[in-house]
Amino acid sequence: MSVFTIDHVKKTFTNGEIEEEILKGVNLSLKEGEITALIGPSGSGKSTILTIAAGLQRASGGEILFEGKDMTKMSQEEIRHVRATDFGFVFQSSHLVPFLTVEEQLQLMLDVAETKTSKKEQAKAIDEMLKLVEMQHRKDAYPSSLSGGERQRVAIARAIIHRPKILFADEPTASLDTKRSKGVMELLQELTRTLHLTTLMVTHDEEMLRYVDRVITMRDGYIVE
C-alpha cells in the first residue's frame, strides 16, 4: 500500500538569469515497510528529490501526497509539524548537535516531536532505542568523541526515536568504511521491518542495494527505471 506519493515534481534553481531545471517531473510512490533506494550519477537529482520529499526544501511544481494531503500546498508551520512528528531524517554526515550527549540528542527529538509521554516513559524509550542501535554504553558521550559509525547509529536513533512514519536517509553510509556501512544498512533494514517504517534512501554504493527492497534509478532529473 502506497503511503507517500510524489507526482510530477519539478525543481528549478535560478542563478542570476540562468534557470536550471534539476527535477523534470519525478513520479514516485513509497510502500509501507519497504526500503526504497534512489541511485544515479551525481547531479541526477536524487538528493534533491529526497530533501523535497522530506520537507527540507520546496518543490517548484507537482504534488507530494502524504496521508491524503498535498505537502506542496502546506504552510511552513504545517511542514515543520510533519517533519517533527511523521518524518525522520538521516543526513550524510550525521549532523548531530555538537553540545548534546547521545542521550540528550534523543531527548531533544522527543521534545521537538512533543510526544505526550511522561519523562519516565521517555527515558525508557531512549534506553530501548540506544539498546536497539547498540549505543547504550555511549549514552553520555558527545558527538566529538564518537567514531563515524557510532555517530551514524546515533543519527538513525534520533531519526526514529519519535516513531516517524517515513524515514529519509541521504547517503547514510557515504562517510563510513565498508564494515561500518554494512552495520548501518543492517540496522536500517532491521528497524524498517520491526518498526514498520517506510524508508527512502539515496545511495551511490551499489554494495548497499542488497539491503533494500526496491531500487529506483535517476538520470538528468528523471526516473529512468
Partner 1 sequence: MKIAWKEMKKSKAKFLILGSIIFLVSFLTFIISGLANGLSQDNAALIKDLPDGQFYLSKDADSTYNLSKIDEEVQKQILIDNPNATAFSVQMGFVNDAEDKQHSVAFVASTESKLFENVKDGEIVLDSSLKEDGIEVGDVLTNNQFSGEFIVKGFVEQQKYSHAPVAFIGMTNYQEIYRVMEMQTIFIPGKDAPTLSALDSFSNKEFLHAIPSYSAEQMSLNMIVWFLVIISGMLFAIFFYMMNVQKIGLYGILKAIGMKTISLFKMIWYQMLVITAISLVLSIALSQAFSFVTPEGMPFHLTMDTVWMLSAVFMTVGFIGATISGIQVKKIEPLQAIQQGEM
Q: Which residues of this chain interact with partner 1, rule CB under 8 A?
A: 51, 56-58, 80-85, 87, 89, 91, 95, 97-100, 104, 108-109, 112-113, 142, 158
**CB 86 to partner 1: min, Å:** 9
Phi, psi of 24 (to 5 degrees): -110, 30
Give the nearer residue to partner 1 in terms of CB position, either 100 or 195.
100
User: What residues contact 36, with CB distance under 8 A and at least 6 apart?
Assistant: 28, 30, 199, 200, 201, 212, 213, 214, 215, 216
Give the nearer residue to partner 1 in terms of CB position, either 75 or 118.
75
**CB 71 to partner 1: min, Å:** 14
Between β-strands 166-170 and 198-202, what pairing exists: parallel, antiparallel or unpaired?
parallel
**CB 93 to partner 1: min, Å:** 8
Give the nearer residue to partner 1 in terms of CB position, either 104 or 220.
104
The grid coordinates of residue 113 equal 516531536
Give the nearer residue to partner 1 in terms of CB position, either 80 or 214.
80
Task: Give the strand order in the sheet containing 222-223.
Answer: 87-90, 166-170, 198-202, 35-39, 214-219, 222-223
**CB 112 to partner 1: min, Å:** 5
CB 204 within 8 A of CB 174: yes
